[in-house]
Each structure stands twice: as C-alpha cells, then as structure tokens.
Amino acid sequence: MINTTLKLGVNVDHVATLRQARGTDYPSVVEAALACEAAGAHGITIHLREDRRHIQDADVYAVRKQIATRLNLEMANHPEIVGIALDVLPEEVCLVPEKREELTTEGGLDVAGNIDALLEPVRRMKEADIMVSMFIDPDPEQIRATATLGAPCIELHTGTFCDLPPENRGPELERLVKGAGLAHELGIQVNAGHGLTIGNVSGIFDVPFMDTLNIGHSIVSHAVMVGMSAAVQAMLDAMAPYAGGKV
C-alpha cells in the first residue's frame, strides 16, 4: 500500500438551498466556494438540476469564473444541461440520475441500460476536454458499462453504506472495495461520495484507489455551526489518514 492524498471536492449546493428558501441574493454560492478553496478544498462541486431547486444557471457561470481549483458539474443527461456544460466548460462533469420528487440523489445511474442515450453527450464532452464521470453504484455491470462508454471516471455511490448501521456495513463496504478494484483494473479513476460525514468517512478507508471524495450536505451543515473554513478543514483532517490502493 502507498500513502496518497485523498482529495476533497466540496459540494456547495445547499448554500443555494438556504438562499432559495427566501428568494434572496444571499448567502452567496461564490463566496462559499471561495471560502472552501481558501480552506484547502481541491475542487468545487455544484449540481444544476433540471428543476433548479438550488443551484441556478447564473451560479454555474459565476462559480466557473471565480474559482481557481477544479469545477465538477453534476448533471442529468438532459439536452439543455448538456448545452450549459459545453458552454461553461468545467474540468469535470458527473452524470447522475434525477427524479423530481426525490430529496436527494437516491442511487447510481443505470449506465448499462442507457449506453445508447449516453454515447453522444459523452462524446461531445470528451471532445471539449471535459472529464466525464458516472455516478454509479458499485456494481460490476455498471463499471464495465462505463468502460464501454469510454468515460474515464466513476463516482461510487456511498449513500447505501452511510445509511446502514455501522455493524451492518461490511457487505456494502466489500462491494465498494471490489468495485474500486475493478475500475482501477479497467483504467478508470475512482471518486466517491454521498452521505459522507466527519463521523463516518473513515469507514470507507478500506476502499482502494480513491482519488476524490465529493461531499456537500454534511460540510455545509457543519458550517452553519462553525463557519465554512472550519468545516472544510475538519473534513480534510478526517480524511488525512486515508491510505491509497495497491500499485
């Protein structure tokens, strides 16, 4: 095993959620993103949903213009959103499933069942030098489908792991470990995220080859109490002991 720096992408969607609750122009998503960067975050994640429940189109352009690190744009495979991504040119896009009635993303994208629909947007974004990631469950079929699609990255859905009682997490952890190993064998970068907190993030440290964790809700929630800089630093401290995968 080798020690690696596990990178943190901070999702600032829920700063926008607070703003949209009152229809004000504050708190500022850009200010939150810049505070995250100043505290050591390696990138900023935002999810432009079709229903625009939190992040708005103007936020995407403003964050793209202001930040100095990587922008990861989460998005559904929808023509309008694909067009915005190709205009904004984030460093990365992560394709996710969306349902209008969900509180948050409930599971991974069915890449295997939607390869034909995904081929064209993936091709266009790769031609624009945007790294394309698939938000998927740790399912070998979905990982192999990602390789078939030619997407260079996955984000493993850790929500199922996080929702289980600690004593029942073993089988799901094993799925994540095996999924990361298969992705690595296929030459696919491994990111992970969903449901991770300071209290549970160490539970996935047995997952090898992880490059980046994208974490939002728990950091923004902690920031309400301690401030954004302190919340980001606390998560970075919690991630520091991670040991990377075999080489």
What does DSSP assign to residue 203?
Answer: G
**Which residue in this structure is represented by tokens 């209290």?**
199
The answer to whether residue 172 is catalytic is no
21, 226 in Cβ contact below 8 A?
Answer: no
CB-based contact 199:162 (threshold 8 Å): no
By the 10 Å C-beta count (0-12 exposed, 13-18 middle, 19+ buried), 102 is classed as exposed
Residue 238 CA to residue 197 CA, distance in Å, equals 9
Catalytic annotation present for 42: no
Residue 106 has a CB neighbour count (10 Å cut-off) of 14
65 Cβ contact partners less than 8 Å away, ≥ 6 residues apart? none
Burial class of 72 by CB neighbour count within 10 A (0 to 12, 13 to 18, 19+): buried
Helix, coil or strand: residue 171: helix
Identify the helix (H) or strand (E) that includes residue 134.
strand 131-136
| Calpha distance 226→223 (Å, rounded) | 5
Catalytic residue, chosen from 14, 47, 157, 222, is: 47
Cα–chain center distance at 75? 10
Which residue among 14, 42, 54, 74 is the active-site one? Answer: 74
Q: Would residue 47 show up in a list of annotated catalytic residues for this protein?
A: yes
* Identified catalytic residue from 14, 157, 194, 222: 194
**Closest CA relative to residue 7, chosen from 217, 220, 244, 218:** 244
Annotated catalytic sites, by residue? 47, 74, 194
